[in-house]
Structure 1
Amino acid sequence: MIFNSLKVWLFPLALTLVGVCSNAARATAQTIYPLSSDYRTTVNITPIAGDISQVFEVGVSDDAPYGLELYKGLTYSVLDSKGNLTFNNNPEAFGVQGYPLGYIQFGDGTNKLFGTSDASAAVNFDNLTAKGSGLVYITGGEGIFKNATATLLFSEDDIVNLGSTITLNGLAKVSGSIKVSQKVPEPTTTTAVIGMGLIGVAFLRRRSRLQSTS
């Protein structure tokens, strides 16, 4: 009889502990925001030392979701003899000192994405066109994109306008999935402790009744 009573009261206790463990496993949730948008871009390439330039880009989209219609970025580039451009957000990678680190930002309202890029482009000086592609590494954000991470793909086709500052006007395609980790309130042990206490009290009362009737 006592063994059966133990089974009756230990079963709810086991369920309580399982519930606590399951809730703890769900303490971090992840939301995925897909992105596939076109940006009309303007890229200004300003020489600063030899073949090394400072590059500032602005893009505007008519179809970007989540308030990410505006894109802007600062980076640096080096041009080789074949017209190939290599970009890096850190000017010191090209041996240039005294310039700010580059950045990438999507959005100018409540929702923003921040990151860096790894890109290259080829310039055809015969027909004055350029094609570029690379990756955008999202490392944070604001609004719904707090704690965001992503690796976005982009490709770009431009028309080249020569001058003291080279200007590229074109269209960029950006796509990928933005992941946002959100912590949810973790369960406390209070409920489990109360539950176990009630189970213990009930078990002791039941055992006391059984002993009094024996």
Structure 2
Amino acid sequence: MFGSRLAWLVPVTLTLLGLGTSIQTAKAENTNNYQFSVDYSTLVELDFNYRPDLEIVRATITGESTTDAPYGLDFFTSNTYGKLQPVEDPSIRRYNFNSDPSVFGLSEEPTLFDVYYGSGDNKLFGRANDRAEINLTEGTIRGGGTITIYDGTGIFKNATGTITFTQQDRLDPSGGPSRGLATLNFNLQTPQEVPEPAATTTLIGTGVVAAGLQIRKRKTEKLKV
């Protein structure tokens, strides 16, 4: 009795297991990945009058790609807070920058962010954590760090990932914005649209119904005997 029932249940069980495996595989492959690099001409503005009592500045950096950027990300604007770090050389100023004001004890200030954009629908939003060194003797600003991406629009809707960058600028002798060049390396992920599970659900439901009918049929045949 059990042998005949098991012989019938094995292929059904294997079929359902196969469907379950397919579902798990689909779930594991539902991410779009984007990796690319872009060079941007930059303009750096530092507001040293923001909080001189705490040696904290406000920084705004804008960029325009030197060539057409992938996915239309031809421009960016980055806003951060910067805290002066101790250094022995009086000709050097080192700053740590962050979009989060609480990092520097500014609990009542707004959290800032970066935006990467162009003329189309694609945008990226991120928050920066970086460093820079101002060399007054050489007249340069050198820096680098990481931008953590937390969202986007267009093909970058719900994007996550990071942008790492290096940057070098020339100090403006008149004290105006400094011009330079930054190289940004994008490593992004977005959730991939997956088909509605209606077809798979229907197949599994059909299999379960069929299993129930077969069991019922066998019980009926036994009673007749």
1:198 to 207, 210, 223: 210
CA apart distance, 1:18: 1.1
Pairs aligned (count): 211
- Give structure 1 stretches of 5+ with no counterpart: none
Query: Which amino acid in the other structure matches residue 120 of structure 1?
Result: R
- Aligned equivalents of 1:21 and 1:120: distance in 2? 48
CA apart distance, 1:204: 5.3
CA RMSD in angstroms comes to 2.8
CA apart distance, 1:77: 1.5
Corresponding residue of 1:147: 158
Bigger helix fraction: 2
**Judging changes above 3 Å, is the alpha-carbon distance between structure 1 residues 161 and 191 closer, same or farther for their aligned structure 2 residues?**
same
- Aligned equivalents of 2:102 and 2:6: distance in 1? 71
Query: Which amino acid in the other structure matches residue 13 of structure 1?
Result: V
1:85 to 2:92 alignment: no
Q: Deviations over 1:129-173 (max 9, x none)?
A: 111011111111112112211122100011111445x42211111
- Aligned equivalents of 2:144 and 2:187: distance in 1? 17
1:157 to 2:158 alignment: no
Query: Which amino acid in the other structure matches residue 58 of structure 2?
Result: Q
- Aligned equivalents of 2:102 and 2:211: distance in 1? 66
Corresponding residue of 1:178: 188
Give me the identity figure in percent.
32
TM-score (norm 1): 0.83
CA apart distance, 1:191: 2.6
Corresponding residue of 1:36: 37
- Aligned equivalents of 2:197 and 2:78: distance in 1? 38
Q: Deviations over 1:3-50 (max 9, x none)?
A: 34641x323311332133223312351111012111111111112121
Q: Deviations over 1:30-86 (max 9, x none)?
A: 111012111111111112121322111111112421121111111111335531122
- Give structure 2 stretches of 5+ with no counterpart: none
Query: Which amino acid in the other structure matches residue 180 of structure 2?
Result: G
Which SS does the other structure have where 2:71 is aligned? coil
Which SS does the other structure have where 1:134 is aligned? strand
> Which has the higher relative contact order, 1 or 2, with Cα contacts under 8 A spaced 6 or more apart?
1
1:71 to 2:81 alignment: no
Which SS does the other structure have where 1:15 is aligned? helix
Q: Deviations over 1:173-192 (max 9, x none)?
A: 11142111236344664431
1:60 to 2:64 alignment: yes
Q: Deviations over 1:108-140 (max 9, x none)?
A: 431111111111111111121111011111111
Which SS does the other structure have where 1:17 is aligned? helix
**Judging changes above 3 Å, is the alpha-carbon distance between structure 1 residues 92 and 194 closer, same or farther for their aligned structure 2 residues?**
closer
TM-score (norm 2): 0.79
Bigger strand fraction: 1
Query: Which amino acid in the other structure matches residue 77 of structure 2?
Result: K
Query: Which amino acid in the other structure matches residue 121 of structure 1?
Result: A
1:136, 1:153 within 8 Å by CA — same for their partners in 2?
A: yes
**Judging changes above 3 Å, is the alpha-carbon distance between structure 1 residues 78 and 3 closer, same or farther for their aligned structure 2 residues?**
closer
CA apart distance, 1:208: 6.5
